[in-house]
Homo-oligomer: A and B are copies of this chain.
Amino acid sequence: MEEKLTIDDIAKALNVSKTTVSRAISGKGRISEGTRARVEAYIEKHNYKPNSIAKSLAESKSYNIGFVMPKDFTITDLTFYQKCLWGINQVAVENDYDVLVSMVAPDDLSQLSRLIENRKIDGAILGRTSSTNVIERFLRSQALPFVTVGSSVDSSVLQVDNDHEAACNELTTKLLKNGVRNIALIGGDTQYIVNRNRKRGFIRAFENADLQLHEELIFTEGNSQEYVENAVDEAIKNGADCIIAIDDDVCVKVINSLEMRGIKIPNEMGIASFYNSYLLENAKVPVTAVSFDEIKLGQVSCKTLIDQINQEEPIKKVLLGYKIELKASTMKQK
């Protein structure tokens, strides 16, 4: 391997000053087209790559952003984060940033705080928001720019989210139009805002359609196997004709529960879900589901963050769209 070139080497070789070389590279400050081109040609030819650490030190910027994800993820979350990360990374790279991963728990922000103390990141993207917004408050106390993926209870926070409320509202409305009336909503922890928003959309659909909401069919305080099984039992007992699962993981549990109880999908019970992930692929019946563009979500949140880091007046709140696909799981056969 050849020795790494420095800006100094280039300056000497080209008989100009380091300042000039630096300007030619960054494009900042006045510089004649001629010199710029000469420098560029030299760089191209000798495959010069600036030392990003030196740049960082001089500019007091790390050119890294942190993607903060919770330690306690479910499998659905995981694929979600992964796709998000993919989008984030794409935009980050385009803007000359790299992405550091940080795993936190509400009671353990040590990893994140270490990253900040060490000045390793210029900003952060929060993968999950909760109603306690501890992480948001922490980041603000550290004066670190950040964006949340998912809505925050704190409206002053930059946030990029799917429009979960509208999505759940539209899904529910479609199902109601399809003829079911006693729709159950199962799963989720209303500590998380995403679940609150879906619930709100669900309730609103009944209001808009002037139909009676069945409170006794709402089970939104858990995701565990036991919780879901129990919810399914209750739903059946209370006359549900359709179940909306809060995510694909819960959906799989619901499907298994129904199967064990000998209840046929869709004729005896309709099923719909959120995310339309890999998990539904193995289901016997194609499942009606809302899907989101997680990669886009990552891209937009990353762009928003970088704009903020660069003081470019980012938009405060962005809501992305969704797609609803009605499939066999909610189409009764005559």
Q: Is the CB of A89 within 8 A of B117?
A: no
Q: Is the CB of B103 within 8 A of A86?
A: yes
Task: Fill in one digit per residue for A285-300: 1 if any B CB lies within 8 Å of its CB, else 0.
Answer: 0000000000000000
Task: Fill in one digit per residue for A95-139: 1 if any B CB lies within 8 Å of its CB, else 0.
Answer: 000111101000000010011011110000000000000000000
Task: Fill in one digit per residue for A32-58: 1 if any B CB lies within 8 Å of its CB, else 0.
Answer: 000000000000000001111110110
Once bound together, how far apart are the Cα atoms of A53 and B53, in whole Å? Answer: 6
Closest to A101 in B: B101
A252 at the interface (CB under 8 A from B): yes
Interface size range on A against B: 35 or more
State the oligomeric state as a number of copies: 2
Among A77-85, A151-159, A236-244, A312-320, which stretch is in contact with chain B? A77-85
A14 at the interface (CB under 8 A from B): no
Q: Is the CB of A278 within 8 A of B75?
A: yes
Candidates B82, B100, B114, B119; contact of A53 at CB < 8 Å: B119
Give 9 nearest A-B pairs by CB, closest first.
A52-B118, A49-B117, A53-B56, A53-B57, A75-B278, A57-B57, A101-B101, A252-B282, A1-B143
Residues of A within 8 A of B (CB): 1, 49-54, 56-57, 62, 64, 71, 73, 75, 78-79, 82, 85-86, 89, 93, 98-101, 103, 111, 114-115, 117-120, 142-143, 225, 252-253, 256, 260, 278-279, 281-282, 284
